[in-house]
Amino acid sequence: MVFPVFSGDVLSDLLGVILKFSDLYLRASRAISINNGKVRIMDHEVDDFYVIAIGKGSIGMARAIEDMAYDKIIDGIAVVPKGTPGNLRKIRILESTHPLPTEASINAGMKILDLVSNVGSGDYVLFLISGGGSALVEVPIKLKP
């Protein structure tokens, strides 16, 4: 089979567009801003908030939110595949498994439930999801005997 060969600016431009739109750090940072001490997340204005990020791109998304609104984050968790490089300053990183769920996935799900149990009426949670979240975070249904 013969594949076409591209060269020149068209291919570079196309690759640049693809990479730009797949950069979850960039996309998350564009969704948040701070004006006069208030956080604006898309069309919502909040004082402070919780962060939950799950998926293979969660560390980039969570880092963007920390960079934009560090002082406004109450607490947070980012669930990443085991071995994902990177660090966060305020949002806790939990390693889990992908593509198959394991005990680590259940642990991550339980930690998220624990975090949201502290969320009160009127509090805000920014929930960031990228691919892989369905294996990284699990909460099993308890079956009655």
Position 100 pLDDT exceeds 70: yes
Dump the DSSP string for the chain: -------SHHHHHHHHHHHHHH-HHHHHHHTEEEETTEEEETTEEES-EEEEEESTTHHHHHHHHHHHHGGGEEEEEEEEETT-----SSSEEEEE-SSS--HHHHHHHHHHHHHHTTPPTT--EEEEE-TTHHHH---PPPPP-
pLDDT digits (tens, 9 = 90+) for 3-44: 555 555 766 666 666 656 678 999 999 999 998 889 999 888
Taking residues 116-129, report their average pLDDT.
95
The mean per-residue pLDDT over the stretch 102-129 comes to 95
Q: What is the pLDDT of residue 7?
A: 55
pLDDT tens for each residue of 55-78: 999 999 999 999 999 999 999 999
Spatial contact of 130 and 58, defined as CB atoms under 8 Å apart: yes
- Model confidence at 144, pLDDT cuts 50, 70, 90, reads very low
